[in-house]
Structure 1
Amino acid sequence: MTDTVLQKIVAATGNETVDKAQEIVTEITQAKVIKALLLVLAAYLILFFIDKVINWLSEQVPLLFRLKVKQSLPFWRAFCLSFFGFLICNLFLDLSPNNVLAVTGTVAVALGFAFKDYVSSVIAGIIGLFENPYQVGDRVKIKEYYGEIISYGIRGIRLQTPDDNIVSIPHNQIWTEAISNANKGAVEAQTVAEFYFAHNIDVEAVMKILYRVAQTSKYTQLKLPILVIMDEKPWGTHFKLKSYPIDARDEFIYQTDLVKRAKQAFAKQDFSYPVLPPQPIDPSGLPTSESLPR
């Protein structure tokens, strides 16, 4: 694998460029190796300290500033890694301007061949810091994964799903995948609760109950709009209650609260629910997918 990469580098850049790349490597001594190991250890400890302090501080500040504090974490991580990376390189390389310019093309070709996907993710992560398709604390959906971004690294992000699973996703997904962002740096994220009734339902009564349920929930951010919309289906009437929790992390607790309290209110009314036509059964004993309502 290494020999193949070297052959491609030589073919692309020529022997002279490779020789220049070798010239910038200084003498490797035991003292330099020990210093490099100490710098790696220091970088690891400082990164660990930064993660702990930023996450602790984000939970201590007012809710309005929680995400602002968390979103500074990628900057401090990148700064720390760049600083210690430069110190380590300076131990083993003669980083004069002429040498850096001479070897830049060679390094670029080597990285392109050997670490194409990794470099693509790193570049996407740097671009992501400026374009902000997502940040720490955002609730996003990438492919089939949905959850809160709890870490923004150089190569990728870590997503915590509602099932409390941690999913690692490389940054280069932003080149090809659609990214759905529920709160885009805000503390609140819209929550949707859905309800179904028969066609002869008292629409005004249902909408009044749903508005009241959202307005009286202890989780609702009353500064943001509460909206009830409806849609007619062949088998019944579909209602959606759209509102915002005070804290996006309470999304599913909030949705459960809305549904529970709405059903308690509906139970006191003489509301009729949709009656589906008889559904064909497949040999396994389950309804077929074509027979299920849409």
Structure 2
Amino acid sequence: MDERSDYAKLFNDIGTPEVITVAAIVLATLLLIVLSQRGLNWLANRLHGQLRFRVFALVPLTRLLILIAAIVLIVPIIIEPSLRNMVTLFGALGLAIGFALKDYVSSLIAGVVSAVELPYRPGDWVKIEDTYGEVKHVGMRTVHIQTPDDDLVAMPHLKLWDTPVYNANNGGPTLQCVASFYLYVEDASGWVREALKDVALTSAYLKFDAPIIIVAEEKPWGTHYRIRAYPVDPRQQFLFITDLTVRGKKVLSEGGVTSALLPPDTALDAGGEVAGASSSPRG
């Protein structure tokens, strides 16, 4: 019977004064959040440089602190602040937080696994899902990837559990690049291979001690030629690909070779390139 009485006292007797107090705290909380957000945004928009972004970063932090303060004030009004009630409350809160943060914990565990298996390291060029770029930082929860468009993507480590990780250079100084050319069947003569190889050999970005491979694959609409070669530095991959593509198209055009027009369904399979030359880094 005593235990039933203790559990019955989990909540205080809520009367009109308590309702008014809770309502006042809620209204004050909303007012402080609105004022802090507008004030900080107003201040940040009048600052410059790194200080401006630091003030912007204070907006969500200030909102969180105000909400925590409001909860600390409201809980003792509604719940009897006894030891048994506090243990019950924090136990339920811990269970809810643990369930909400299961992906966060999974990312931390995957971060430990990544430190052992090394699927990526700073300096590697990786592709995870639709994100391709250079690994800038490997943290405990996320890996930071700088894309060619200069976007910094924070990818959680938990992607390791169910997503393939394509590593183009795997901690090494070599990264294979591919430049593609789509030609008509009647234009696919033997000199095309040598011409494309010369294009690669005369590139200022070529790593000379790495192999150059010219691959030809017959298609219903023509012949798909690919130059597989390596730049001196992985960070030069897009300059290297551009150089191969532009000069390769020029050489083929001067030799009287015309580009094949891909059927619409084939163009989608080829990554959306409709005609001429296309290129991409491996991975």
* Superposed pair shares fold, TM > 0.5: yes
* Structure 1 residue 203, shift from structure 2 partner: 3.0
- Which of structure 1's runs of 4+ aligned residues deviate more than 4 A? 109-114, 291-294
* Structure 1 residue 273, shift from structure 2 partner: 2.9
C-alpha change, 1:173 and 1:198, in structure 2 (3 Å) is: same
Is the Cα contact below 8 Å between 2:125 and 2:132 reproduced in 1? Answer: yes
C-alpha change, 1:262 and 1:134, in structure 2 (3 Å) is: same
C-alpha change, 1:204 and 1:138, in structure 2 (3 Å) is: same
Instruction: Spell out the pairing of 1:254-293 with structure 2 (5 A cutoff).
Output: 254-275=240-261, 289-290=264-265, 292=267
1:206 aligns with 2:192: yes
Deviations 1:196-242 (A, max 9, x none): 11101243211001111111111111111110101111111110100
Is the Cα contact below 8 Å between 1:197 and 1:238 reproduced in 2? Answer: yes
Q: Which amino acid in structure 2 is aligned with residue 265 of structure 1?
A: V
Deviations 1:164-196 (A, max 9, x none): 111110111101101111000012211000001
Paired position in structure 2 for 1:156: 142
Is the Cα contact below 8 Å between 2:200 and 2:206 reproduced in 1? Answer: yes
* Structure 1 residue 113, shift from structure 2 partner: 4.2
Is the Cα contact below 8 Å between 2:124 and 2:135 reproduced in 1? Answer: yes
Take 2:214 and 2:266, find their aligned partners in 1: how far apart are those partners? 28
Take 2:199 and 2:240, find their aligned partners in 1: how far apart are those partners? 11
Deviations 1:59-98 (A, max 9, x none): xxxxxxxxxxxxxxxxxxxxxxxxxxxxxxxxxxxxxxxx
Take 2:209 and 2:158, find their aligned partners in 1: how far apart are those partners? 37
Choose which of 111, 126, 132 in structure 1 pairs with 2:118. Answer: 132
* Structure 1 residue 130, shift from structure 2 partner: 1.1
Give the SS at the match of 1:217: coil
Instruction: Spell out the pairing of 1:1-294 with structure 2 (5 A cutoff).
Output: 112-113=98-99, 115-275=101-261, 289-290=264-265, 292=267, 294=269
Is the Cα contact below 8 Å between 1:221 and 1:244 reproduced in 2? Answer: yes
TM-score scaled to structure 1, two decimals? 0.56
Flag the structure with larger Rg.
2
Is the Cα contact below 8 Å between 2:123 and 2:134 reproduced in 1? Answer: yes
C-alpha change, 1:177 and 1:243, in structure 2 (3 Å) is: same
Take 2:248 and 2:209, find their aligned partners in 1: how far apart are those partners? 21
Equivalenced residues, count: 176
TM-score scaled to structure 2, two decimals? 0.58
**Structure 2 gaps, min length 5:** 1-90, 270-283
* Structure 1 residue 255, shift from structure 2 partner: 0.1
Is the Cα contact below 8 Å between 2:144 and 2:153 reproduced in 1? Answer: yes
C-alpha change, 1:132 and 1:203, in structure 2 (3 Å) is: farther
- Work out the percentage of aligned pairs sharing the same amino acid: 40
* Structure 1 residue 272, shift from structure 2 partner: 3.2
